[in-house]
Amino acid sequence: MPRAVKFSRYGGPEVLEIHEVPRPQPGPGEVLVRVAVAPVNPGEAGIRQGVFADIWPARFPEGQGNDFAGWVAALGAGVDDFAVGDEVIGYLPRAAQADYVVSPAADLTPKPADITWESAAPLSAVGVTAWAAVDAVRPEPGETVVVSAAAGGVGSIAAQLARLRGATVIGTAGPHNADFLRSLDVVPVQYGPGLADRLRIAAPQGIDAYIDTFGQGNVDIAIALGVRPQRINTIADGRAVARYGVRSEAQEGAFSRSVVGELAALVAKGLLTVPISAVYPLEQVQEAYRQVQRRHTRGKIVLSLVAEDQRSAVADQVRSQA
């Protein structure tokens, strides 16, 4: 029987269970996907904990996970832009951590053959979020941009996208991530008390834009450093949006097949790296979320629903069902 991660009450990672479920069937305009990799994200933990119950209440048993990559396993009526066996990248809120998912065909993006499953799967969530944040502050060549938590999933991609636009990027992170940020051509600055003073030293000519992926007062610091509110984007501090009128562009407003496709093309060309800190089998989903909730992850943590040494066989099996 196919497996799916679900939870039947709000709580910590311990409430996550792996259920056996019927194999779903695609309807008109839909595609059945055999999932290979599904990332874990901090926002998903918040939903599971009930933090957003007033906005996005769970319907128990609720699924878990948003982004995924896998093989097209079956086509619904009217779908003619994919074939069984195609490799795709998708986004399906509260359902992605499952052996099979049904997605609208319009929400799937072809996966380039020469990028890894682990690099592809996060693009529709953290990749698009980073894209939206960078586009919101519109860095220009020669400008200086700060990215908070620049070693994290969204931050590491946002920093690279800002660099591709020609900006000098300063990334805040812990000292253990300094060499990693330098490898991305990002100037590391240690977060914590005294951050504003360290940023002034790192950018003596001033800071033009600020991308906040962590909260914890980063928007206050940006305002104190003279960054204009319209050049600040936060995905982690709703109160600062109301207080200062800064921007809050994120995945919801930017997701499209074209954006995911552009990100995938950058990865395929070697211009964008999706750092992967750990890969867990589906059976260790609880531990994967414990790790991501510590908020010290470099890049992404992902779940592997098909072991690497079994992927060729699974792909052949899927194609044989066409």
Q: Which domains does the chain have, with CATH numbers?
A: 3-122+275-320 (3.90.180.10), 126-252 (3.40.50.720)
Please give the model's pTM, rounded to 2 decimal places: 0.96
Strand partners, 91: 67
Strands (DSSP E) along 141-275, which ranges?
144-147, 168-173, 187-190, 209-212, 232-234
Q: 236 and 214 in contact (C-beta within 8 Å)? A: yes
β partners of residue 278 = 301
pLDDT tens digit at each of 322 positions of the chain: 999 999 999 999 999 999 999 999 999 999 999 999 999 999 899 999 999 999 889 999 999 999 999 999 999 999 999 999 999 999 999 999 999 999 999 999 999 999 999 999 999 999 999 999 999 999 999 999 999 999 999 999 999 999 999 999 999 999 999 999 999 999 999 999 999 999 999 999 999 999 999 999 999 999 999 999 999 999 999 999 999 999 999 999 999 999 999 999 999 999 999 999 999 999 999 999 999 998 778 999 999 999 999 999 999 999 998 7
Which residue shows structure tokens 């906005």?
55
108, 90 contact by CB (below 8 A): yes
Report how far residue 49's alpha carbon sits from residue 97's, in angstroms, rounded to the nearest whole number. 17
Start-to-end Cα distance in the chain: 20
